[in-house]
Structure 1
């Protein structure tokens, strides 16, 4: 999937998250620029910081049979909220928001793949 398409899917997923869950929201409303910046930062954090967090938390992840990954995803969402216009009402809201964001992203990725917009031949 191209970078621009991935960025747009992530931005749409973040926007939809703020619409369906009140624990995660954009300060001052969801302007297109702030949503795109948050999606870009989310991509950077997922690419650079999340793997390090997953590696450091590997013993806890194994001990909890993978459930600690939800906490790592919540921390990632909190990191994005710390540097962008995205905001959360707390750590628990970030974990729930990350879970909802995962489901929304999964559905959007499946939709993009089904429509053939990802450039793959199926």
Structure 2
């Protein structure tokens, strides 16, 4: 149940990012659901591999290169899907930052909601 709630709220967060920032476009809630799934899948499978491969650069930049990796995951998801569009790297960077912040709020709310007392 928590996973489905997180997926739906992540899709809503993606729609909120598209509403807040003009560099990110999402056509519908269905497209947002598919995009949220793909971004989550890329962050689960590809991102850890990229973090390990770019570890020297990440250490050299004091962790700031992780923002670039997040933007690349966001941008690559948009390049694969039709209903989700990002206008360039800088739009992907800003969009991924907003999406990450909203995701942190969602995670915190779901943790409180589904916490075992």
TM-score norm. by structure 2 comes to 0.90
For residues 43-82 of structure 1, the aligned pairs below 5 Å read: 43-82=40-79
Query: Where does structure 2 lack aligned partners over 5 or more consecutive residues?
Result: none
1:106 maps to: 104
- Report the Cα distance in structure 2 between the residues aligned to 1:100 and 1:52, rounded to whole angstroms: 23
Matched, 1:121 2:86: no
* Residues 81 and 87 in structure 1, CA contact (< 8 A), matched pair in contact too: yes
- Report the Cα distance in structure 1 between the residues aligned to 2:91 and 2:29, rounded to whole angstroms: 23
TM-score norm. by structure 1 comes to 0.87
Root-mean-square deviation (Å): 1.5
2:20 maps to: 20
For residues 89-104 of structure 1, the aligned pairs below 5 Å read: 89-104=87-102
The DSSP-based 3-state class of the residue aligned with 1:49 is helix
- Report the Cα distance in structure 2 between the residues aligned to 1:101 and 1:78, rounded to whole angstroms: 12
